[in-house]
Structure formats: C-alpha cells, structure tokens
Copies of this chain bind each other. A is one copy, B any other.
Amino acid sequence: MTTTSLAVLGARAKVAARALAVASSRDKDAALLAAARSVRAATAQVLSANAADVARAERSGTGPAVVDRLRLDEARVEAMALGLDALVALEDPVGTVVEGYVRPNGLRVRRVRVPLGVVGIVYENRPNVTSDAAGLCVKSGNAVMLRGSAGALETNRAVAAALRAALAETGLAEDAIQLVEDTRHETVEEFVTLRGVIDCLIPRGGPGLVELVRERATVPYVVDGDGNCHVYVDQFADLDVAERIVVNAKMQRPGVCNAAETLLVHAAVAAEALPRLAGALAGVELVGDEEARAILPGIAPATEQDFASEFLRLRLAVAVVEDLDAAIGHIARYTTGHSEAIVTTDYSAASRFVREVDAAAVLVNASTRFVDGGELGLGAEIGISTQKLHARGPMGLRELTSVKYVIEGDGQVRT
C-alpha cells in the first residue's frame, strides 16, 4: 500500500482552502446536500468497509466499547447523512461583520469573519467524526485534513471517498477534504508539526493524545480536554432539584466529558442530602472523604486520585465541604476547566460561584450535561474547548473562523 505524503496532502489542502474560503454559502450548502446523498448512496460500500475494520478489531482483541464505537449500521450511516443535511440550516459565519467603525481620520474599519484555512483533526475509532468534521469545515469555508485511526481506516476511506465525490460533483475542490491514510502511530507527530499547512489542529481523543499535542505540536491547536466536572449542592439547595441534577449529571450518559465526576455537599445539609442522593444514585459506585463516609459508612474512601479523575463510568467521588469558599477551593484545585455546577436557591452563593469558578461553563440549577453544542444552540460541534484561547466550551461553526481587519481609506497616511 502506498500512501501520499503529508506534505503533498497538505499542499493540496492549502490550495483547496484558498478556493473554499471565497465559495458562496449557496455553493457550500449544495455540496453538503450532495455529500449527504453521496453518503446514503454509498451505504453498502461503507458498511462493507466497516465490517472489515470491525472484523480486524475483533481478531486483534479490541475491547467491546471500542468496537461498539467503531461499528456502523444503516441507522448510523443515515445519522451521518442527516448531520450533513442539518448543517445547511445553520448560518454561515464567513463574511459576518463582527464590528465596524470610522476613525477620526476617516478610515473605515471593520472586522470580518474569515475561515481559518486548513483544519487538522486527529481522532480515534469514530467514523462519524469523518463526516461530522468534514461537514463543519466545508460549511465554514475551511479545508480539512482528517487523521483518523488505523482501526477505522477502511471505513474512513469509504466515507471520505463519498464526501470528496460530492465536492467534485458540485464544483468545489475535492481536495478540501483530505484523509490521511498513513495511520502509523509515529506519523501523528509529523501531523502535529505541519507548520505552514495546518492553521488549527483539534485533537479528538483521550489524555494521551492531548498530552502529545501539548508537548509536541508546533501548529496552532485548540485542546478538547477532559471533563472532571463537579456538582456542588449548597446549604440552600432545593434537594428535589439537587437529586434530579446529580442523577442526570452522573447517570444519563456517564461516558462523556460533561458528565459529573465529583459531588460536593455543604456540611450543613450533608446529613440530610447525602443519604437521599446516595439512594437516588443506585448503581453508582460512590467513594467519599472522611466526612462523607461518616454519613454514608458503606462507601469506600476516596483517594486524592479519585478527586482528580475523570471516571467516565458509574463511579462518583463525594466530599463534604465546610462552606461555599471550600467548594470553590476544591473545584479550583481539581477542575479541568470544563463544566461546574451549583445547586442553590441563594442569590449570593449563585453569584459568587458564577464569578469565581474558572471553567468553560458554570451552571446554576442545571445539569452539566447541557454543556454541548447542540444543547446550547450551536447546531453542531467540532469539540469542546477546555482552554481559554480562541474558543472556550462547545465549538461550532463560529469557532472554525478567524477575523480579518479590513481598513478602507482615501489615501490616508500616518503622521
């Protein structure tokens, strides 16, 4: 098998990016509709390629959770097509004037949204990322280089071929979607150092991948990091609300980044709240600090590591805190900056929590599970940024753009 070098793929992506940057919304939407049709029409090929990937994964002893994420069926392929269709209804951010004003010397200044250029995605065995990311990039006028995993290579090839055919069919540059077929582990490092090619790298994977990007990347990137999310039940919490939110944040989908991993309870209500919450959390393995175990003697002790962990499963660390300051302090120590919630009826506690907790999202009397592009109205998301530069929280089409100063004059010079 020969694969095209990253340098060649990158050069093609750059040329395509220049063309796509000035494509009209109408043309991009037509390409997205064609891409959805093309994916539907290729269902048989995609499923056949996927069956080969799945068989290979099973032969090599890959765990069932990973195989499940890898496995496609007709419904999952249709979901990919629907995702592409849905992008058409979203507003194209390109060309939006963010602000505009006139300077005293008559210069007309405006800041205009423009595509980033070439977006690089590194991801694991999730073939839906191939179509989701490509669709978001096309809609926002960016070329995309998709560096999926070896385990999903056949599937990704089939999906990417369908998407590229749609671009070509509708007159856009098919090179705007590039699948990196060299999936050897060591080439990830080459990918994250494609300086002058990749304008924005988005790693979609576990802590190992994020660490590699932080340590090795020389291209600009936005980290989609872990979510060690806390729910703090305040002294003045409505315990009905607290129960509903804690159960939802922990149990509704425990394997995702916006699920709760630690429960903090104010000491004044711990004796009443903890037994009730523990009862509602049936099926969740609880571990607690000394104060929590004094109230819930059946649970195991929580280690320092527990409070620092994103479990991504039905395990929850519990701590009793003396007051709001202690809750904010605990969060400041362990937060990964994703989503942090308070349950309270007290105005001052809510205000202080919102101001003082440093995270992409702070929530009052709502489940951490709402921190999601779809739930917040972005339409679709390419990741959730846990960093502070460029984008913070769910990243949609707007976060796939930059701005450009446009300055118009009549011969002004500087004196």
Contact = CB atoms under 8 A, between A and B. Distances in A.
Interface of A: 18, 21-22, 101, 103, 107, 109, 114, 116-117, 195, 199-200, 214-215, 218, 220, 222, 238, 240-241, 244-245, 247-249, 252, 332, 350, 354-356, 358-367, 369-371, 375-377, 387-390, 392-393, 402-415
B365 A103 contact: no
A219 B231 CA distance: 28
Contacts of A354: 406
Given A109-B377, A245-B413, 7 more contacts: A103-B375, A117-B358, A220-B387, A220-B388, A249-B413, A364-B407, A370-B412
A241 B407 contact: no
B358 A21 contact: yes
B413 A107 contact: no
A247 B247 CA distance: 68
Contact of A389 (B215, B222, B244, B361): B222
Contacts of A413: 244-245, 247-249, 252, 366-367, 369
A46 to B, nearest CB: 30
Nearest to A219: B214
A355 B245 CA distance: 48
A392 B404 contact: yes
Contacts of A195: 214
A138 to B, nearest CB: 18
A21 B403 CA distance: 26
B363 A409 contact: yes
Contacts of A238: 411
7 contacts: A18-B332, A114-B358, A214-B218, A240-B411, A241-B411, A362-B407, A366-B409
A414 B117 contact: no
B220 A406 contact: no
Given A367-B414, A376-B109, A360 B218 contact: no
B387 A392 contact: no
Contact of A410 (B107, B365, B392): B365
Given A107-B366, A114-B358, A214-B195, A407 B200 contact: no
B388 A402 contact: yes
Interface hub of A107, A354, A355, A366 (most chain B Cβ within 10 A)? A366
Nearest to A200: B389
A367 B402 contact: no
Contacts of A199: 388-389
